[in-house]
Copies of this chain bind each other. A is one copy, B any other.
């Protein structure tokens, strides 16, 4: 029994899929204690968009630490925070016509940013009900968990998960069913039983839910629905944001203006705990300290986040490279689909948030195991864990992509041919 099994709770999970001890990491590579290298197609579940330990960010962080830069200061003013505020405003908000958004630094977890968003929406509107969607994932603290769909997590709540009305996501009932019209009918009907909501919380691409994609049109309709029924629109961009879909926010160019936006995961750029809520200025009805937390405003994260913004987001070139790589991966995946299961496999996702839907979770798990055995760290998502999910660093090289896709192709081949063999016998 190793130290982990001996001392750590059985709640540990990813380590069960990848039972090796990682020690170092660079870019898209994970390196174990005994020097084995893996291509990382998990990327901290979307936390490592700029790769592991990016040299520029690393240097900025080292410099800051060397200088005895303030590490922890609650939500006091710090030079590092000021620099981040200014940089995020200049490089992200302003160019996107979002100059009037304010930033709130919540506890450094995605779930805490969601808790803050839900609290604020309820406070501003004076209503408690919130609409969230099938297959949505928003975190595991009780306030956020109420909005999360996953039964594995909901079942562990131990207390009521209330004040959330669940609605069908885009295409949940197939391409022919307009789920926005359904919601509109329910909200128009004073005896539908759906209490007037404070807000809608939505992911533009559902990461944990299985790489389900909402179209720009659906998002626009959703925004109009929000305006019609006086609900706030919360975009949870924790996994899909920070460049993952080929633009900084997942909803760019869709023509919508969310009222509240949650960011975390790749926001620090270096894998450091960090979370932020963006809010339109007129919604800033917080009393000082009303929502708080010891680690809100992680200064190390301010430093790396600002450096990442300066490096990657001065212009569209990085985003363009993401779109190009996304295209490359999608083509390789499309080939896998065609080759190994044109009828049973399905390309899912958008940008560099892609995956292949398999017939069931056992198959997807077997494919990931096979891939790991050949040097690729990759995981599943989806209601039945049936989607093999490719969430590699956005800075990955074409060579690494190709190598990873070769491994994946072989894994699909091995598992699906075994599968076919079993069914035949």
29 A-B contacts, Cβ less than 8 Å apart? Answer: A2-B77, A3-B85, A7-B85, A10-B287, A13-B288, A13-B289, A14-B74, A14-B76, A15-B76, A22-B78, A23-B70, A23-B78, A23-B80, A24-B70, A25-B69, A47-B74, A52-B68, A53-B68, A65-B65, A118-B158, A119-B158, A135-B189, A139-B293, A141-B144, A150-B193, A151-B191, A156-B291, A172-B185, A191-B209
**Distance (whole angstroms) from the CB of A221 to the closest CB of chain B:** 16
Interface of A, secondary structure class, is: loop
Instruction: Evaluate contact between B190 and A70: CB separation under 8 angstroms.
Output: no
Chain B residues in 8 Å Cβ range of A279: 9
A16 vs B149: C-alpha distance when bound (angstroms): 39
The verdict on A109 contacting chain B, using a C-beta distance below 8 Å, is yes
**Distance (whole angstroms) from the CB of A346 to the closest CB of chain B:** 16
On whether A134 and B189 interact (CB within 8 A), knowing A12-B288, A159-B143, the answer reads yes
Number of interface residues of A (CB under 8 A): 151
Residue in chain B with minimal CB distance to A270: B71
Instruction: Evaluate contact between B273 and A273: CB separation under 8 angstroms.
Output: yes
The verdict on A18 contacting chain B, using a C-beta distance below 8 Å, is yes
The verdict on A213 contacting chain B, using a C-beta distance below 8 Å, is no
Instruction: Evaluate contact between B191 and A8: CB separation under 8 angstroms.
Output: no
Closest 6 CB pairs of A and B: A72-B271, A122-B158, A142-B143, A149-B193, A13-B289, A11-B286
Interchain CB contact (< 8 A) of A82 among B3, B142, B209, B384: B3
Instruction: Evaluate contact between A9 and B70: CB separation under 8 angstroms.
Output: no
Knowing that A19-B77, A123-B158, A191-B383 touch, tell me 13 more A-B residue pairs with CB under 8 angstroms.
A6-B89, A8-B103, A18-B76, A25-B69, A47-B74, A53-B71, A62-B65, A123-B156, A140-B293, A143-B157, A156-B290, A156-B291, A162-B162
